[in-house]
Chains A and B, each alone.
Chain A
């Protein structure tokens, strides 16, 4: 058991300070840099280095150094093996060297310092503790970087799938429409009927692909930085898109609310998708001649958007399942209205991602209200577009 350092308070406070610095970043290169810098200073050393056991398990690779690093890779010797198995090593030679094990679930290596003078016993305790803090900070950074990488790969996968899945369907659908619109000759009623059925199936497939990809994108936001956006402005944009659909069904689509700024932190695409889904659903499930109201208001530090319809409503037992992937309420299924059961799952994922909440109230045959609350972000004006 190594001796505790005599200058206990100083040693503890130096360690505390080191731990705070090591954990202040999640970039492994920066963590490594701060480890060698701190070790160099703490031991008034000529050099400090971090070695990592190579993936083949046969050599050590120098991954950070200040002042010295005999070579970038070194074959494992007995002393290295002893350190890697948890022992402290003091090598007294032409220059003394002290090495402590650096061990985390995703990093095996050692922290070495080359002090001016012989390594004191008290320094063993200090170096070991320092190495422990360093290992923990490195482990967090490496885990975080692995997560980022996998998130990035997932995002890239979604982009490739977007293109590969949609391309054949939109190609086929484009050609079908040319035929159906009679652009290259008249069709018999039966031909028209068959092609129409094909076109409808293509539409369903396309909306399923789009909804699946929207859900995947909502759950994968690694590369989409949040912006400050005016919720009211985005809500108006969204309502504009459905004016035509509403008019076709003689549904009165109203936007209400004061003109004050509602800055929230979100992605434009995500916010539009939330509103498009809610307003689109409201228009879709409201019978001819009904009403849809989009009400925007501010309550303390929350921007609130309520989409209320006079539609078919949601059965009580289905309310708590709304937002589950592929779930559609029984009356929505039997209505004959096309849907995939993914739209509200996407809304929920997006609202959660923007630190907001979604609440649904509904009465069968009377209508539903979807309320989204998002935290207001600051009061200063938005940058002009």
Chain B
């Protein structure tokens, strides 16, 4: 069965480009247009991997989503989903002067990829994370 990938991105063009790239490689794709929709979709769709945008409802919405998903709290409502690999798509990673994470060395995602989305970078990253996850 094809792996299911959830794209959480408020930019419909980026989401479409990512979808077309992933579908060309045989993945099943579902989309969410905000972090709120995205968190709900994590529960309802139970994806194998998440592609996450940074700036959505707020400048750091994507990071907050990732932090919620990866929360180490025992009673976290997302505790069943905290091991889902996350690829963060960003055009702002390098220019953001402030830290998002609770501690500066901790990043709640597995891979950062710069936009524009490129099949040559996205597919190997996705494939590597899924292989590691299901090894």
> Which A residues lie at the B interface, using CB under 8 A?
155, 159, 162-163, 166-167, 169-175, 177-178, 181, 183-184, 202, 206, 213-214, 217, 223-224, 267, 269, 272, 385
Contacts and interface: CB of A to CB of B under 8 A. Distances in A.
Contacts of A267: 97
A177 B95 contact: no
A36 B14 CA distance: 59
Interface stretch (B15-23, B35-43, B66-74): B15-23
Contacts of B94: 269, 272
Nearest to A203: B116
A155 B91 CA distance: 17
B95 A183 contact: no
B34 to A, nearest CB: 15
A186 to B, nearest CB: 13
B77 interface: no
Contact of A172 (B13, B21, B98): B13
B59 interface: yes
24 contacts: A155-B97, A159-B59, A163-B92, A166-B91, A170-B91, A171-B14, A174-B118, A175-B17, A177-B116, A177-B117, A178-B17, A178-B20, A178-B119, A181-B119, A181-B120, A184-B20, A206-B116, A217-B97, A223-B97, A224-B97, A267-B97, A269-B94, A269-B97, A385-B105
B80 interface: no
A385 B105 CA distance: 7
Contacts of A174: 13-14, 17-18, 115-118
A184 B19 CA distance: 11
B83 interface: no
Q: Taking each of A167, A172, A178, A213, which has the highest tally of chain B beta carbons within 10 Å of its own beta carbon?
A: A178
Contact of A177 (B11, B92, B97, B119): B119
B24 interface: yes
Contact of A184 (B14, B18, B24): B24
B55 interface: yes
A44 to B, nearest CB: 49
A316 B116 CA distance: 38
Nearest to B54: A163
Nearest to A209: B91
Nearest to A220: B97
Given A163-B92, A174-B116, A174-B117, A183 B11 contact: no
